[in-house]
A and B are shown apart, each in its own frame.
Chain A
């Protein structure tokens, strides 16, 4: 029984990580209709910035507990700098073009940012393990798990609830939903669509950077970490339905738990199971689990 609980817990931890990435990706797609490949680079930038800031914090002789604040600062910093930079500096000039063109543009941005990362941080990996080890372990049955995993789950749940509240319970959120539904009508009704785009992209970037910043303490932050993440996040978003926050949450949970069971009981099929879930969902619901019905425009 404790074995099963452990497997489920591992799945939920993985899902939380996936959700942080997928939430930003799906938000940006929902509002802007952009499949943002550069999301992977923003994740990597978040991880590198977190490792640098937390490292500098410790090097300055400050208390290790402050490194958690550094992780949050890194996410904010990357989101607030890179979000507007990419949206105002690049994407703004491309709106109205085909979705494929926008996808290629974000892919180009991804490649450029990967090299920028190499230029800034070099090719050596960066490590900042203190926040991971600091809170210690807890037990599920005979297995020890880092308390840090609970923090990751809590942040993912809080982020999901905060986003849902902001979208469905605030006036600005409702304006955003209106833009998701129909950009032209929203603009005609006086909604500043340009501003909505800027805010959405910045929040999405912040979520990607948060995912990276929270992952940094558990991994060696090294070139190429954004590639793996973006592929998995796309799988999650497609399962959940492009543009759906609830879909991203359910998709992340499904992929995370199925993967965890595969790792434990059928390791040869680990990678296969993730895409098997995606294939099954797409056969049953070609636009994902939570895709909204599309009105046909005449």
Chain B
């Protein structure tokens, strides 16, 4: 009897020690973001900065409530950062390696990479949080258990832009586009074209310029846009291409003669400042950067980021932070449900349909069977105020107004005239 009791006590002690040890073991999170190539400076490195800063602050317990518990439910977070450059095939191979070294994965800026890695994450049964890529096809064309996306899909960027144009520039009768010739640019233009046609039937499309990624020089394209006679020009350019378009287009009067929509223009605000002419319509792919709500949580994030890196955070840093906070919220929700050190299945169950407070506002995992986030969106107009570029005339759109309902594909929803 005594022997049985002794064995029981010993095993109970072992189990307790194991649980305590596990509870103190670091959580290893694989981070995938561009560290080289053209997207590194534009998004990849600001996103990595967001991940690193917030991880450090979470580990120290220095993030405001409701995230003021240390690390992930008390366990310190360790990041393993890898480069997203190299294309989808390379990323699939990288994910297979990374999955063996980490507990969870957060990453991916490129839509091509997201589309490629999502089925692989599912096959590997590795909880993977996509944080930035825009294509709505991830959860509209497939269903995943292990994949989540805490960043809103790209659909709302251009739907909000079209709504803004229809409201603020009702006299626009013709449009033209200049976008990069790959999935991102093509999808953005298609969404904008469909949305503006749904809002303003009969609007004329003058030209659609599709340039090679990182073409850099747009002399002929700018001439074509200038002579197209279009009232409005839409561009989803980013990085060096966006900066090049402004540097080359502004002196030639492109921004003065047309209403210009830069649907992903927010990162350029810090880079170009007042070189972006007044009146340019700018989006941030969500309520981020200058479009983030002026609340305590956002002020805390902006100030912490600015203090560390000397620049305000761009939307990629916001979305990186939201992915970490989403995972933390899911982990701790699973803990509250009774699991001291929740396993992956318990975290997934907690993550599905989760609503959590992000740095740009409330994030609701309502689409893709609870795996795809929606947020409100905001668009504004650039104005030089005392030598500093500010966003004015900011209009906020509720998430339901700029995202399709659950189970409806984005393009079909836009074509239907945004039917709910």
Contacts and interface: CB of A to CB of B under 8 A. Distances in A.
Say whether A and B bind each other: yes
A132 B248 CA distance: 8
Interface string A1-45: 001001100110110010000000000000000000000000000
Interface string B208-229: 1111101111011101101100
A225 B214 contact: yes
Interface stretch (A71-79, A102-110, A142-150): A142-150
Given A125-B271, A146-B252, A225-B214, A263 B40 contact: no
Contact of A220 (B37, B212, B243): B243
A263 B221 CA distance: 6
A153 to B, nearest CB: 12
A123 B41 contact: yes
Interface in B217-272: 217, 219-221, 223-224, 226-227, 239-240, 242-244, 247-248, 251-253, 271-272
Contacts of B40: 123, 223
B223 A267 contact: no
Query: Which applies to chain B's interface (DSSP): helix, strand, loop or mixed?
Result: helix
B360 interface: no
A215 interface: yes
A219 B251 contact: no
A228 B207 CA distance: 24
Contacts of B239: 125, 220, 222
B244 A143 contact: no
A127 B220 contact: no
B252 A267 contact: no
A270 to B, nearest CB: 7
B217 A215 contact: yes
A10 B41 CA distance: 30
A115 to B, nearest CB: 8
Contacts of A260: 220
B36 interface: yes
A10 B214 contact: no
A227 interface: yes
A133 interface: yes
B209 A219 contact: no
Contact of A143 (B217, B227, B242): B227
B19 interface: no
Contact of B223 (A6, A219, A271): A6
A10 B217 CA distance: 11
A98 interface: no
B41 A223 contact: yes
B252 A145 contact: yes
Nearest to B252: A144
B210 A264 contact: no
Interface residues of A, number: 44
Contacts of A294: none
A285 interface: no
A223 B36 contact: yes
B247 A228 contact: no
Given A124-B41, A218-B247, A219-B240, A143 B223 contact: yes
Contact of B216 (A6, A122, A127, A228): A228
A228 B214 contact: yes
Given A123-B45, A144-B253, A224 B220 contact: no
Interface string A261-273: 0011001101100
Given A144-B253, A219-B244, A223-B41, A7 B220 contact: yes
Nearest to A47: B216
Nearest to A268: B210
B214 A271 contact: no
A151 B306 CA distance: 41
B211 to A, nearest CB: 8
B275 interface: yes
Contacts of B209: 263, 267
B342 interface: no
Contacts of A17: 217
A270 B42 CA distance: 26
Contact of B224 (A123, A149, A267): A267
Name the residue among B41, B181, B221 with the largest chain A CB count within 10 angstroms.
B41
Given A123-B36, A228-B212, A267-B207, 6 more contacts: A7-B220, A115-B36, A215-B217, A222-B239, A223-B36, A264-B224
21 contacts: A14-B217, A115-B36, A122-B41, A125-B42, A125-B271, A127-B243, A133-B251, A144-B226, A144-B251, A146-B252, A215-B217, A219-B240, A220-B239, A220-B244, A223-B36, A225-B214, A264-B224, A267-B209, A267-B210, A267-B224, A271-B181
Interface of A: 3, 6-7, 10-11, 13-14, 17, 115, 118, 122-125, 127, 129, 132-133, 137, 142-146, 149, 215, 218-225, 227-228, 259-260, 263-264, 267-268, 270-271
Interface of B: 35-38, 40-42, 44-45, 181, 207-212, 214-217, 219-221, 223-224, 226-227, 239-240, 242-244, 247-248, 251-253, 271-272, 275
